[in-house]
Amino acid sequence: MRDGAPFQRWFARAITAGRAPTELPAAFAVYRNTWLQGLLDALGSNFPVVAMLLGDDLFEAVALEFARAHPASTPVLALYGEEFPDFLQLHEVGREIPYLSDVARLERLWTECFFAPDAPVLEEQDYARLTPSHLVKLSARLHPGTRLGRFETPAVTIWQAHRSDEAFEEFEPEWRAERALVTRGGGGVVVTLIDEPTFHMLRAIKSGRSLGSAISATAEAYPGADLSRALSTIISTAALSVGISEDNRPWQA
């Protein structure tokens, strides 16, 4: 059997090129246009707020540049666009709109959460049953559907405003760094704007610390922080997962 790889590589170069091969101009024009439109539609679905911020015409032009430079590596177009935030950051439009690439990164985190696998969730009623000794030792971890976002722009505020069901007029958000907690442990994907101590606690858990150790580390790094509020946010958003063993779920009989 002949190796089809050379043809596949030629075919990929052909459909991403600016002009169709002279051998099959009409056929390739139809196929390439259909293929590119599929990628543009996928980017619009995967980055809806970016599309809103740019407007239809500009978004289509930028997306077309990206699609030609970054053909899909998977047939699952719902996952397409992993490199899009970095592409926007280097693009002229990203330099003119400094929060654009961060909004795109947040939307990518949303997609990753949506397609993440399921796992047992540390729920509020479970936490309420923990004794202090169990809390210190509890081997919690971030739920597979949890992501953390660190942005130097008000990307979370901008994203939430554009995703809100309530109509809003143009606004000027306070220019500040923001931290995002993106979760899907409790069902649908939720984006929560969190403070620095909460972000620090989650990062500590992500690094492998026990829940108690993460709380202690946060207390040391942020004296006077409202750790109860931080922990409440983490638990209520179903950001954590635990194993199903008796040692890890000591409240179960």
Instruction: Assess whether 76 and 124 both reside in one domain.
Output: no
Report residue 139 as tokens.
């081997």
Report residue 138 as tokens.
């509890």
Instruction: Assess whether 26 and 68 both reside in one domain.
Output: yes
Average pLDDT, the chain: 84
Look at residue 106 and tell me if it is in a domain: no
Q: Could you tell me the pLDDT band of residue 244, with boundaries at 50, 70 and 90? A: very low
Instruction: Assess whether 63 and 126 both reside in one domain.
Output: no
Q: Record the pTM.
A: 0.83
Q: Which domain holds residue 130?
A: 117-253
Instruction: Assess whether 8 and 83 both reside in one domain.
Output: yes
C-alpha–C-alpha distance, residues 247 and 50, integer Å: 45
pLDDT of residue 13: 54
> Residues 210-231: what's their mean pLDDT?
94
Cα three-residue angle 176-82-236, rounded to 5 degrees: 55
Cβ count near 155 (within 10 Å): 26
CATH code, domain with 243: 3.90.930
Instruction: Assess whether 29 and 81 both reside in one domain.
Output: yes
pLDDT of residue 32: 59
Look at residue 88 and tell me if it is in a domain: yes
Instruction: Assess whether 148 and 87 both reside in one domain.
Output: no
Residue-wise pLDDT tens digits, 121-180: 887 787 778 777 777 677 889 999 999 999 999 999 999 999 876 656 667 788 999 999
| Phi, psi for 133 (deg, rounded to 5) | -65, -40
Lowest-pLDDT choice from 50-54, 76-80, 109-113, 221-225: 76-80
